Amino acid sequence: MNKTSYLSTKNINVSERLIFALDFESNKEAREIVERLGDTVIFYKLGLELFMAGGYYELVDWLANNGKKVFVDLKFFDVPQTVGSAVRQLRNKNATFTTVHGNDKILEAAVKEKGDLKILAVTVLTSLDRHDLDDLGFECNVENLVLSRAKRALQLGCDGVISSGLEARSLRESLGENFLIVTPGIRPIANVDDQKRTVDVEQAFLNGADYIVVGRPIKLAPDPYQAAQDLQHRIGKVFSDRDR
Catalytic center residues: 75
Which residues, other chains included, contact 191 with Cβ-Cβ below 8 Å and sequence gap of 6+? 198
**Rg of the chain (C-alpha set):** 17
Contact 12, 38 (CB under 8 A): no
Backbone φ, ψ for residue 100 (5° rounding) = -130, 140
Q: How many helices (H) and strands (E) does the chain have?
A: 11, 8
Contact 20, 43 (CB under 8 A): yes
Backbone φ, ψ for residue 211 (5° rounding) = -140, 150
Task: Check the CA dihedral 240-158-27-55 and report its sign.
Answer: positive
Backbone φ, ψ for residue 124 (5° rounding) = -130, 125
Among left, alpha and beta (phi > 0; psi -120 to 50; other), residue 157 is left
Cα separation of 120 and 211, whole Å?
Answer: 12
> End-to-end CA distance of the chain, in Å?
24
